[in-house]
Structure 1
Amino acid sequence: MPDQPSFIEGVMNLSRLRVNPMTHSCSGRLNVRKGLGKTVEAGMVLKEYLLRGMAERMLILTPASLVGQWREEMARKFGIDCATTHDPLLRSDPAAFWAQPRVIASIAAARRREHAALLAGRSFDVVVVDEAHHLRDQASASYRLVNALQKRFLLLLSATPVQNNLIELYNLLTLLQPGIFRTPKDFRAAYMVPGKPREPANRGRLRDLMRGVMVRNTRALAALRLPRRHAATIRAEPDAAEAACYRDLTGLARAAAGDRHARLAVQHLLSAAGSSPAAVATAVARFAERHPEQPAWAALHARYQAIAAGAKQAALQKLLAQNPAEKKMVFVHHRDSMTHLADLLRRQGMAPLVFDGSLTGAEKDQVVAEFRDSGKLLLCSESGGEGRNLQFCNTLVNFDIPWNPMAIEQRIGRIDRIGQTREVFVFNLVTAGTIEDAMLRILDEKINMFELVVGEVGAILGEIEDQQDFSSMVLDAWLQVTEDARATAFGALEGQLLAARRQYEGAKALDEALFGNDLDAA
């Protein structure tokens, strides 16, 4: 059965969090690993409001890269089904989409002029804003959107509510309790040292002010001590044929990307090429069928079909041969790669279990039980292991690398969570010279992604994703026409990530200095 919190557990945790419906708010520093996340805490609040009959219409605003995670958590842990801005209805009939009672929306989509106007005309019982520190500027479109919403209760979630200036607290407080201060000048006079925007004039008074609207959860409070995590990237060298195919695919993709309508197809083609020849052969065949006027695609399809196995398959086989007694989870995004790998491994005498979206709930339970009791190898689709206790496994292999770093975090969270008693090992497989190789070098070498606590990657990326999501930035850099232009684009992206990490670390230090342990949940 899914590890779903019961209603009683939810009520107990709500009491522990000291959520005060009268303040319509709960904001805190949530620097925790999987299992103590702010998504779960928000779900407890929403479920309580639903059970009390206090709320029916809900709007959850979150960064685009977290929409899917929110939908999964709300449905699986709390039985709250929501529409999302991934749904085609948003584009076909925006008015009907926003009229639905429970919506999880990308804040970037919601603040677009045509959508913001529709939202302003509706009323909501509860509005939740994840990564609420992005509301710190009253001049921003995100702040104006949330301020304009008709809402009874407002729940703001942030790991670092103050990042640069104490006036950001004024802005958030004004959203939570309109009119709490007449003007920013009043707030400055009461709480800020002149000329020192990060230093409170009266620290104790400021904490008293925040205590009524803020709950702060920390890993120390939860006494959370998870085993160490080790991560390694394995770069598989392609043979001449595979490398040549990838170069030619990249060239064709650059030309195709000039048509903005083909951008998603280009992203899928490159992602499939980073997975396996089997996956990209299928993707190229479909693209060639849609574009018969471009014979180069059909020729490329034939070349990919001639490749029996890619470099990553051989690297995976070598990795699986090490410590054969240890259980291993292998995440595979592309269905053709999954089928190819399962057949290949079976022919070599292994007995991989397969967990994917085609299985019924009962079949998924059976696969997990078999993996726990006797299995050694589990091939998982992107949804693999959702809602199931997999701490009996401590080795995870990312065969396919998602371009959304939060998806990588979610995978790791399947085994690196409360209940894990052994050190966790994460192996990332990439084909050298691919877009995944370039992306992983940035994430691993520049911001040390695999050393961060789950949730911190999202906080860091949130600083650069306000206008464009990370995967789009990576794709734009890769599609630069010349090697020099590509290097320059990736260098710029590296600089943005490093600056975002420094800003995040500075915000954490400021948060600790401002609030210490005074606002921790009891």
Structure 2
Amino acid sequence: MGEFFLNQRYTSSGEPELGVGIVTEVSKGKVRIFFPVPDEVRLYSIESAPLLRTIFKPGHTIVDQQGHAMLIEEVKFENGLYVYFGGNRALGESELGDVSISHTVDDRLFAGDIDSPEFFALRRETLDHNYQRRISPVHGFVGGKIDLIPHQLYIAHEVSSRFAPRVLLSDQVGLGKTIEACLILHRLLVTGRISRVLILVPESLIHQWFVEVLRKFNLWFNIFDEERCSALEKGAPEVNPFLDDQLVICSIEFLAGSKKRTQQAISASWDMLVVDEAHHLEWSVDEVSPDYGIVELLSKVAKGLLLLTATPEQLGVESHFARLRLLDPNRYNNYDDFIHESDGNKDIAAIVEKLSSGKDLKAKDLRLLESIFSKERIALLANKDELTTHNLIEDLLDQYGPGRVLFRNTRLAMSGFPERIAQLIPLQERENHSLWIERLTREFSLDMERESETKPEQELWFEEDPRVEWLVGKMEEMHPEKMLLICTSKEKVLALESALSNFPEFTASVFHEDLTLVQRDRNAAWFAEPDGAQILLCSEIGSEGRNFQFAHHLILFDMPFHPELLEQRIGRLDRIGQKKDITIHIPYLLGSPQELIVRWFHEGLDAFNRNLEGGNLISKLFSERLLNITKIPSFEGAQKELEILITETAEYQIELKKALAEGRDKLLEMNSFRPKIAKRLIEQIQAEDNDPTLETYLTKVFRHFDIEMEDLASRTYLLHPASFSAEVFPSIPREGIQVTFDRKRALSREDVSFLTWDHPMATGAIDKVLGSTLGTASCGLIRGTGNPGLLLELIFVLETAGKKSTDIDRFLPDTPLRIVVDHTAKEVTDSYSVAMLNKNLVPGRIEPLLENEAFVDTLLPNMILSATEIAEQMGEQEIKKGLERMKLTLDHEINRLTALQKKNKDIRADEIQAGLEERNTLSALIKKARVRLDAVQLIRKE
């Protein structure tokens, strides 16, 4: 691309609907373009800017800044800018007024610069697919490399459909809060509702989040730390580094350690702030922690806010209030008022539960409902009509449920979890048992020290270890079943790998934090293959954020000390969506500290057989005593103290479960998951998953751009450029990439990309076709019609040029309008279907026609003019439909929220205002939609 100068005019090949833009700034490898029509600014990298120089030709009409028109007679190029001459005056680019360029692809036709009908058909098909994917009700939901879990999809749908989402996601462990947040982000980003996102997490979770959003949702977030910020400032000291990227992950600790970075993050302006582990942000009426203060400042400047936290009932009322005031400080501004609010919703919850389960309502229930709704409406319940009951439940949940700010699903209310089968394996070393007690005591002590700054060297004897001897026997017994083994450290993983290498009949793969992402993918993929590794050896950190649910055997080679860490290990397999029961194997040496830990978890907490709740509270109360017990020199003495601790722990566990059960907000749980909505979403996603259209379309695109597709399995391919000279294609590296169109296979293989209409490779293919001139002009021939003549097939696009944050595609995406006219300029579209032309058209020569002056000067222009007038009329009808769709959706939601606000305090005034503003913006943008000629095909009939 040539050099950029101020006032040059460009159009965007990726977003032609923006119209003609003006260069307003050129600096540091970036160029800033202002597009007057939609009043939008884009910042591009000069190296890869998708920009086309706008040059007006003799015969075009332009205007100056005062609106005076000029017919161009001559064009010159001076000092980087074009100067246009006409009517004894000159007009430079810097003096141009509000101009637009006519995307007259017929210029190519008149010049004889044509493609074959095959390429025209590809462009026509691409425009149609682009329209269908954008208007799809599950646009933004199909692309996640995830199981289709109903409650996750419901929450994502509900939150991402709001005008200004600010919510607390607090599902119990194993129900997928992170997936819910990623689904929300993915949909909002794909549909253009948001563009700038900051994910704020504890330092230990940065890598897990980076992998989650990249591997499962194809979102590349940039990790920000002091090193990155300093490097960015070296090149541009005056620039805020947080403005360098749109999608950012950083740690709370990083911001807390620097007032400068905190202020830069606050001033960077974010569409969405995501905060994980929000329950660690400490707040009280008397004192606010620095971490909480930072999040509070960021939450005030971010338009949207997602807080992810442990279930509130485990944290206390004050802690729960602290989260809610971040979401809506106006609603939750006084702690005393909050704790004294009425809990009268319990009666409503009981009624909703009865209605949901089909139980009869008592007289007092009916009286309460009649005080809320009309007596006539409640009388209809006697008919036992399913729709009447469903609508009443929905209205009750809307008016009394706290689902505007809080979502919480519990395992108790969900199905789909496997059974846990615990197998405790006490080991007795026949020779030198005391030596092994000494060794494993030392190993346990070093494991406890691993959190310290100085990580100690660890001596391991795994070639002789009785646990390894048991492991080898178990692998032989269970072959070829897959086994996942998790232990504390990378060092243990490598030592185990070395020990198992003495048994070549067994295959093991490793997975730890020092491996690159590519190595982890390859090792996980080998484990996933039916004839691959039988066992995967994982370190504690290395196992985070991965899906190993195709395995059903978990080996706890050593014992984690913290209850939450144990639950995290088991959670690698025990998650919603797991298809089989899982067996947890716990080998331990009798008389060792590991035996004490195993007994406490098993007898005190039943943690191997049941999901453990309140792990942090349990740890605070009992962990220090447990650690002290492991240090008692006499094992008999340690066992006596352990018996007392087990009894106390078990009693506390009973009380804790009772308190948690009593604290359940059943109305909240019902509002957090509405099965009928989730079922409809899943059916729509599955329909797209099973539709072969995308696979067929991409096959054509890949063939055109010289990308080879090697069959690997059903609907699974290896993609790579056919030759080194092949054009670079979005998301396909030179070395190739494995892809699948099958969700089930994608979930079992970390190294295989899942292709959907949301995937960057699919959207990149569409952009690559539409961003080029491919197929914009064509000439074809149909033989044997018995009716010689000429046809002109034209594809117009009705475009809106406006703010991406409105997601206008829901109502009026770029809409292709296909028109066929004959040589008399009469429309004959219905007589020449796409299928008929695709089947019968062959390439034709246009040169003889271009030599005919009557054809060039009169016939062809009249055909184009007639089609354009028809397209304008069709465009007006589509605009009318788009306005109707928009008003039907937004008016209903705005009216609903306005009515609910009178009864539900959690409806924010700014949310309603955002809806009103969005409706007004959308209405103006839809009304301004314009028709543009995108492609034209001349057809000769013989």
Question: TM-score band (shorter)?
Answer: 0.5 to 0.7
2:606 aligned with 1:448: yes
Match of 1:506 in 2: 659
Matched residues in 2 for 1:215 and 1:371: separation? 34
State the one-letter code of the partner of 1:24: P
> Cα 1:15–1:489, aligned 2, differ >3 Å: closer, same or farther?
closer
Query: Is contact 1:192-1:201 (8 Å) kept?
Result: no
Tell me the CA shift for residue 137 of structure 1: 4.1
Is it true that 1:8 corresponds to 2:153 in the alignment?
Answer: no
Amino acid corresponding to residue 122 of structure 1 in structure 2: A
Aligned partners of 2:571 and 2:559: how far apart in 1?
15
Please give the alpha-carbon distance, in whole angstroms, between the structure 2 residues aligned to 1:102 and 1:20.
23
The CA distance in 1 between the partners of 2:227 and 2:427, in whole Å, is 41
After TM superposition, list the pairs within 5 Å mapping 1:140-219 onto structure 2.
Answer: 141=289, 143-149=292-298, 150-152=300-302, 153-163=304-314, 170-180=321-331, 183-187=334-338, 190-191=341-342, 208=400, 210-219=402-411
What corresponds to 1:43 in structure 2? 182
Q: AA paired with 1:155?
A: L
1:461 — aligned with what? 615
Question: Relative to structure 1, is the Cα distance of residues 509 and 25 closer, same or farther in structure 2, using a 3 angstrom cutoff?
Answer: farther
The 1:22/1:173 distance shift into structure 2, 3 A limit, reads farther
In structure 2, give the amino acid aligned to 1:208.
Answer: Y
Distance 2:159 2:610 in 1: 28
- Cα distance between partner residues in 2 of 1:180 and 1:262: 41
Aligned residue-pair number: 458
Secondary structure in 2 matching 1:227: coil
Equivalent of residue 17 in structure 1, options 158, 166, 175: 158
CA shift for structure 1 position 213: 2.0
Q: Is the alpha carbon distance of 1:516 and 1:346 closer, same or farther for their aligned partners in structure 2, counting shifts above 3 Å?
A: closer
**Cα distance, 1:502–1:103 mapped onto 2, change above 3 Å:** farther
Partners of 2:619 and 2:398 in 1: CA distance:
31
CA distance in 2: counterparts of 1:419 and 1:201, whole angstroms: 33
Measure, in 2, the Cα distance between the counterparts of 1:433 and 1:249. 14
Residue of structure 2 in register with 1:288 after alignment: none
Cα deviation 1:184-236 (Å, max 9, x = unaligned) = 4544565358xxxxx97997799636232233445577x63233221223343
Q: Contact 2:255/2:261 (CA < 8 Å) preserved in 1?
A: no
Q: Describe the SS at the equivalent of 1:27.
A: strand
Residues of 2 paired with 1:157 and 1:356: CA distance?
27
Distance in 1 between the 2:470 and 2:654 partners?
32
CA contact (8 A) 2:418 2:582 kept: yes
1:58 corresponds to: 198
Aligned to 1:155, the other structure's residue is in SS state: strand
Q: CA deviation at 1:57?
A: 4.5
Residue segments in structure 2 that go unaligned for 5+ positions in a row? 1-137, 145-152, 235-239, 350-395, 678-942
Separation in structure 2 between the aligned mates of residue 316 and residue 72 of structure 1, nearest angstrom: 31
| Residue equivalent to 2:275 | 129
Instruction: Name the CA distance, whole Å, in 1 between partners of 2:654 and 2:208.
Output: 22
Query: Where in structure 2 are the equivalents of 1:251-330 lying within 5 Å?
Result: 263-265=452-454, 268-269=456-457, 272=458, 276-277=460-461, 309-330=464-485
1-structure distance, mates of 2:489, 2:580:
30
1:493 to partner: Cα distance:
11
Q: 1:330 to 1:227 in 2, by over 3 A?
A: same
DSSP 3-state at the match of 1:210: coil
Match for residue 297 of structure 1?
none
Whether the aligned pair in 2 keeps the contact of 1:446 and 1:497 (CA below 8 Å) is yes
- Deviation digits for residues 448-491 of structure 1, max 9, x if unmatched? 222344xx55xx2334679x9x99x6997479687789998998
CA distance in 1: counterparts of 2:206 and 2:193, whole angstroms: 25
Paired amino acid for 2:423: A
Q: Does 1:373 align with 2:557?
A: no
Tell me if structure 2 keeps the 8 A contact 1:277–1:310.
yes
CA contact (8 A) 1:190 1:201 kept: no
**Aligned equivalents of 2:533, 2:649: Cα separation in 1:** 41
Of 664, 670, 688 in structure 2, the residue corresponding to residue 517 of structure 1 is 670
Alpha-carbon contact 1:23-1:176 (below 8 Å) kept: no
Q: Structure 1 counterpart of 2:535, which letter?
A: L
Counterparts in 2 of 1:499 and 1:487: CA distance versus 1, 3 Å: same
Match of 2:509 among 340, 343, 354: 354
Alignment counterpart, residue 233 of structure 1, candidates 418, 424, 441: 424
Aligned equivalents of 1:406, 1:314: Cα separation in 2:
29
Q: Which residue of 1 aligns with 2:557?
A: 399
Aligned twin of 1:119: 262
Contact 1:74 1:80 in 2 (8 A): yes
The C-alpha deviation readout for 1:67-105, integer Å capped at 9, x for no partner, is 5544442343234456779x7969x99x99996962353
* C-alpha distance in structure 2 between counterparts of 1:154 and 1:494, whole Å: 43
TM-score by length of 1: 0.66
When residues 263 and 327 of structure 1 are mapped into structure 2, their CA distance, relative to the original with a 3 A threshold, is closer
Change (3 A) 1:247 1:163: closer
Q: State the one-letter code of the partner of 1:277.
A: W
Structure-2-length-normalised TM-score? 0.40
1:228-257 CA deviation, whole Å, 9 max, x = no partner? Answer: 221223343452333334557889x79x98
Partner residue of 1:224 out of 415, 421, 432: 415
Gaps of 5+ in 1: 194-198, 279-307
Q: Structure 1 residues 407, 211: closer, same or farther in 2, change over 3 A?
A: closer
Partner of 2:388: none
Relative contact order, higher structure (CA 8 A, sep 6+): 1
- Contact kept? 1:352, 1:378, Cα under 8 Å: yes
- State the 1:39 CA deviation: 0.8
Q: Secondary structure at the match of 1:178?
A: coil
Q: Give the Cα–Cα distance (whole angstroms) in 2 for the partners of residues 405 and 210 of structure 1.
A: 31
Which residue of 1 is the match for residue 586 of structure 2? 428
8 Å Cα contact 1:218/1:520 also seen in 2: no
| Amino acid in structure 2 at the alignment position of 1:428 | I
User: 2:556 touches 2:586 (CA, 8 Å); kept in 1?
Assistant: yes
Report the 3-state secondary structure (helix = DSSP H, G, I; strand = E; otherwise coil) of the residue aligned with 1:511. Answer: coil
When residues 402 and 354 of structure 1 are mapped into structure 2, their CA distance, relative to the original with a 3 A threshold, is same
Conserved? CA contact 2:143–2:217, under 8 Å: no
CA shift digits 1:370-422 (9 cap, x unpaired): 75323572232337787776444322223244456555545444444455433
Find the residue that maps to 2:416 and give its secondary structure: coil
Offset, 1:517: 1.6
Q: Which moved more, 1:358-367 or 1:46-55?
A: 358-367
The equivalent residue for 1:78 is: 217
- In structure 2, what is the equivalent of residue 287 of structure 1? none
For 1:146, the aligned partner's letter is V
Residue number in structure 1 paired with 2:168: 27
Q: Would you tell me which structure has more helix in proportion to its own residues? A: 1
Indicate if the aligned counterparts of 2:177 and 2:308 stay in contact, CA closer than 8 A: yes
Q: Distance between the aligned counterparts of 2:280 and 2:493, measured in 1?
A: 39
Is the 2:278–2:308 Cα contact (8 Å) retained in structure 1?
yes
